C-alpha cells in the first residue's frame, strides 16, 4: 500500500473545520505523510513551485478562485501531481467535470471517511503515474511517426502537415514559397555494387550534408527511397535555384568513404498564386525529371 510512498499531501481548503477533519481522518488511518494546509489557490501554487508533493486535496471554492477553473488553473501550474477534488453535496456534478478535465478523483466531503480518503489517494497516485507514462509513450510515438527512422529528418507525413501550414502562411502574407526536390543518381548501383549498408550510409550522409547547409526554418524531408525535398519559406525560384546548385556541388564533392562518389539531380519550383498542392509538388517533380533526362547531376527549374 502507498502509506510508505506518500510523504507530503497538499491540502488546499479554506474551511478550517473541513481541513481539521481531513487531517484527523488521515491521522486515524495511521497516515504519516506531512499535510501542508493552505487556504488559497495562489498559496497552493506557490507552495508547489518550491516543494515536492505526492497528492493534492483540493476544495474548488476558495477565496481567490471558484468552480472548475480552480482545478484547471492548478493543473496548468503543476501538471505532474495527482489532484483529488473535494466537493460539497450540492456540487457533486463539478466533481465529475473536474475528473473529465484531468483530476484523478473527486470526493463528496460529507461522504469522506479515513479509509475512503486513503484509498482514493493511493489510486490517484497510481493512476497519475500511469497517465504520465502513457503520455511519454504517446509523445514518443507521435515523434517517431513523423521522423524518418534512418536519417532522422522529417518524413512525408510531417512534410504534408508542415506544407499545409506554409501554404496558408504564404497565401495570407503573399510571401514566396519554393520547393526543391532531388534524387540521388544511380543509387541502385550503390546498393548493388557495395551493399545496402553502404546505401544506408550514403542516405544518412546526404541528409547530414544538406541539414548543415540549409536554414533552420527550411523543411527538409526524406520523400521516400533516395528522394528528398527541401521546402523553403520566403524564397522564390531564383533563390531556391542558388541553394539547389550549392547542394548539388556539395554532394558531388563529398567523399562518401572508400572513394565512393554520389551525385544528385535537382528540380526547383516556386508556388504560384491559387494553385493546388498537387500542382506545386508536381512541377518540382517535373523539373527533377527534366534534370534526370538532361544528363543527371544538374539542376532544372520550372
Ligand atoms: Mg471552500
Q: Give the model confidence (pLDDT) of 123-151 as tens digits.
A: 999 999 999 999 999 988 888 889 999 99
Of the residues 161, 226, 275, 278, only one is catalytic, namely: 226
Q: Are 235 and 224 in contact (CB under 8 A)?
A: no
Please, what are the domains in the chain?
Answer: 8-142 (3.40.50.2300), 156-301 (3.30.70.270)
Helix axes 68-77, 92-100, angle to 10 degrees: 30
- Neighbouring CB atoms inside 10 A of 115's CB total 11
Which among 241, 250, 264 is positioned nearest to 178, based on CA atoms? 241
DSSP SS3 for 43: helix
pTM of the predicted structure, to 2 decimals: 0.65
Could you tell me the mean pLDDT of each successive run of 10 residues in the chain, 302 residues long? 70 95 92 93 95 94 93 92 89 88 92 91 92 90 89 94 92 94 95 90 96 95 96 96 97 91 97 93 97 97 96
Whether 226 is catalytic: yes
101 CB-near residues (< 8 Å, 6+ apart): 68, 71, 72, 75
3 state DSSP class of 196 = helix
**219 closest CA partner among 121, 144, 295, 148:** 148
Q: Check if the beta carbon of residue 294 is closer than 8 Å to that of residue 236.
A: no
- CA gap 98, 297 in Å, rounded: 61
Q: Which three cell numbers stand for residue 107?
A: 470526493
How does DSSP classify residue 272?
A: P
The C-alpha atoms of residue 184 and residue 222 are separated, in whole angstroms, by: 12
Dist. CA 15 → ligand 1 center (Å): 6
Do the strands 34-38 and 8-12 form a parallel or antiparallel pair, or are they unpaired?
Answer: parallel
How many angstroms separate the alpha carbon of residue 11 from the centre of ligand 1? 12
Ligand 1 midpoint to CA 6 (Å): 24
How is residue 253 written as a grid cell? 564533392
> For 70-123, what is each residue's pLDDT tens digit?
999 999 999 999 999 998 877 788 889 999 999 999 999 888 899 999 999 999
Query: How many CA atoms lie less than 13 Å away from 89 in the CB half-sphere?
Result: 3
Query: What is the Cα–Cα distance from 297 to 62, expressed in whole angstroms?
Result: 70
Nearest-CA neighbor of 82 among 1, 6, 28?
Answer: 6
- Cβ neighbours for 140, distance < 8 A, ≥ 6 positions apart: none
Per-residue pLDDT, 299: 98
Distance separating alpha carbons of residues 271 and 277, to the nearest angstrom:
9
CA of 52 relative to ligand 1 center, distance in Å = 24
Task: State which H helix or E strand residue 180 sits in.
Answer: strand 177-184
Nearest Cα to 285, choosing from 264, 263, 300?
Answer: 300
Q: Which of 118, 122, 87, 124 is nearest to 103 (CA)?
A: 124
- Residues at Cβ < 5 Å from ligand 1 ion: 14, 59, 61
Centre of ligand 1 to C-alpha 95, Å, is 14
Amino acid at each position: 500500500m502507498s502509506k510508505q510512498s506518500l510523504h507530503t499531501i497538499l491540502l488546499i481548503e479554506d474551511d478550517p473545520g473541513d481541513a481539521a477533519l481531513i487531517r484527523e481522518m488521515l491521522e486515524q488511518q495511521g497516515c504519516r505523510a506531512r499535510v501542508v494546509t493552505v487556504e488559497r489557490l495562489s498559496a497552493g501554487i506557490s507552495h508547489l513551485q518550491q516543494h515536492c508533493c505526492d497528492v493534492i486535496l483540493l476544495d474548488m471554492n476558495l477565496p481567490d478562485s471558484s468552480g472548475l477553473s480552480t482545478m484547471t488553473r492548478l493543473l496548468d501550474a503543476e501538471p505532474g501531481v495527482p489532484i483529488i477534488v473535494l466537493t460539497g453535496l450540492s456540487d457533486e456534478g463539478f466533481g465529475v467535470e473536474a475528473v473529465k478535465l484531468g483530476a484523478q478523483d473527486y470526493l463528496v466531503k460529507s461522504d469522506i471517511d479515513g479509509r475512503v480518503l486513503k484509498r482514493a489517494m493511493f489510486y490517484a497516485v497510481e493512476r497519475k503515474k500511469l497517465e504520465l507514462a502513457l503520455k511519454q509513450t504517446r509523445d514518443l510515438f507521435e515523434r517517431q511517426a513523423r521522423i524518418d527512422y534512418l536519417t532522422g529528418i522529417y518524413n512525408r507525413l510531417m512534410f504534408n502537415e508542415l506544407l499545409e501550414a506554409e501554404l496558408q502562411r504564404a497565401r495570407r502574407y503573399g510571401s514566396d514559397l519554393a520547393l526543391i526536390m532531388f534524387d540521388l543518381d544511380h543509387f541502385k548501383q550503390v546498393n548493388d555494387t557495395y551493399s545496402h549498408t553502404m546505401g544506408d550510409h550514403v542516405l544518412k550522409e546526404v541528409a547530414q550534408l544538406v541539414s548543415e547547409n540549409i536554414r533552420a526554418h527550411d523543411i527538409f524531408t526524406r520523400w521516400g527511397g533516395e528522394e528528398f525535398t527541401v521546402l523553403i519559406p520566403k524564397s522564390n525560384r531564383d533563390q531556391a535555384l542558388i541553394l539547389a546548385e550549392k547542394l548539388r556541388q556539395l554532394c558531388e564533392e563529398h567523399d562518401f568513404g572508400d572513394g565512393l562518389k554520389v551525385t544528385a539531380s535537382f528540380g526547383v519550383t516556386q508556388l504560384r498564386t491559387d494553385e493546388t498542392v498537387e500542382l506545386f509538388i508536381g512541377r518540382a517533380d517535373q523539373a527533377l525529371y527534366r534534370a534526370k533526362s538532361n544528363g543527371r547531376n544538374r539542376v532544372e527549374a520550372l
